[in-house]
Amino acid sequence: MSFIFSIIAVTALVGVALAGVALDLRYFMAVVLPYAALATFVLGVAYRVLKWSSAPVPFRIPTTCGQAKGLDWVKTNKIDNPCSTGAVLARMFLEIFLFRSLFRNTRMEYREGGKVRYGSSKWLWLFGLLFHWSFLIVVLRHMRFFFEPVPGLIQAIEHADTFFEMGLPLPGPNGLEVSLPLLAQSGVILLAAATFLFLRRVVVPQVRYISLASDWFPLLLIILIAKTGIIMRYVLKVDVVAVKKLTMSLATFHPALPAEPISFMFYVHIVLVCTLLIYFPFSKLMHLGGVWLSPTRNLVNNSREVRHVNPWNPEVHFHTYSEYEDDFREQMIEAGIPVEKEA
Ligand code: HEM
């Protein structure tokens, strides 16, 4: 049901975008919607991150799976059981940029005779990594639409990402020019990796069983965003100069549709991207912000060295033994109970 619901939802979004083009709601789709989506994204992400950051973390709760720092002659596992800020930074870096825990993921299978077999499973790690990195590169490359002049870093990323030339040289209008559509690898890798992650949920019965609409929907949305982008770039050859006029007008807060027409596919692309932006703060995609704030990952495990006292514990009024003896000394002496201080 959740799968069918998600298919219907993304199909409806494409239908809405096409209807918007047919009804000439271009200004709404290319100006009003992007501003609204960006505002929702920024405010929503900020709200959730601030809320998480203000959650108290009085104790050390890192998940550990290696030897903690102890006696000098016992070897410490600094990455899995970080005992200093440097070790935590190394652990966070490996986790966030290389998905280290996913790399160590194992697969469990039941074999004949009820035997259990554990095996290495690196596919999810590989495609997960490809998916996230290519997504980042695609988004960074898109920044060329929003800056004039285009920053050197974005140009360098674009240059590195398009080192393959695709297609045959085509004669230009004057018969001399050639146009070579450059293959942007990150876009194609993004589509391939997102498709792998989607098919994994379809094909592996255990994963299919636990998949919800909140898993299917964002994957389908991202697949469609990548597909529409690829169609625009290599098939319809959208007028990127017109797109840049539009995006610069948005970036400079003087929104205006360009005089030149832009392909309907652009409007589908933009409606899907805006939906992703609006959906983002309310969804599991917030792991982008959460991974930095996870106390099971970002805390030093120094519970053996430092006593962490819960700051909002109520003050405890102790009744010490000497106070007790002061209260009952005479009765204790009468009953023959030894006392530390004589009356
Ligand atoms: C979540 C954000 C976005 C994703 C994941 C995404 C994805 C893609 C992908 C995969 C392509 C295929 C070609 C390539 O790899 O560059 C593409 C092309 C394109 N996208 Fe996006 N896109 C996003 C946001 C946007 C936005 C905000 C705009 C508004 C200007 C836009 C406009 C375009 C255009 C005009 C193309 C064709 C580019 C060309 O011919 O070089 N995209 N997009």
Average pLDDT, the chain: 91
In a domain, 281, yes or no: yes
In a domain, 78, yes or no: no
Same domain? 327 vs 198: no
Same domain? 219 vs 342: no
Total domains, the chain: 2
Same domain? 208 vs 331: no
In a domain, 311, yes or no: no
CA–centroid distance, residue 229 to ligand 1 (Å): 5
Same domain? 330 vs 220: no
Model confidence at 170: pLDDT above 70 = no
In a domain, 265, yes or no: yes
Model confidence at 176: pLDDT above 50 = no
Domain that holds residue 171: 2-61+144-294
In a domain, 39, yes or no: yes
Same domain? 183 vs 221: yes
- The model carries a pTM of 0.86
pLDDT on residue 316: 85
Q: What is the mean pLDDT of residues 173-180?
A: 50
Model confidence at 174: pLDDT above 60 = no
Same domain? 226 vs 341: no
| Token duo for residue 156 | 């360098």
Q: What is the mean pLDDT of residues 268-292?
A: 97
In a domain, 185, yes or no: yes
CATH, residue 252: 1.20.950.20
Ligand 1 neighbours (beta carbon < 6 A): 135, 138-139, 141-142, 145, 184, 186-187, 190, 225-226, 229-230, 232-233, 238, 240, 243, 247, 266, 269-270, 273, 276
Model confidence at 159: pLDDT above 50 = yes
Same domain? 35 vs 156: yes
Same domain? 57 vs 164: yes
User: pLDDT tens across 237-251, in order?
Assistant: 899 999 999 999 999
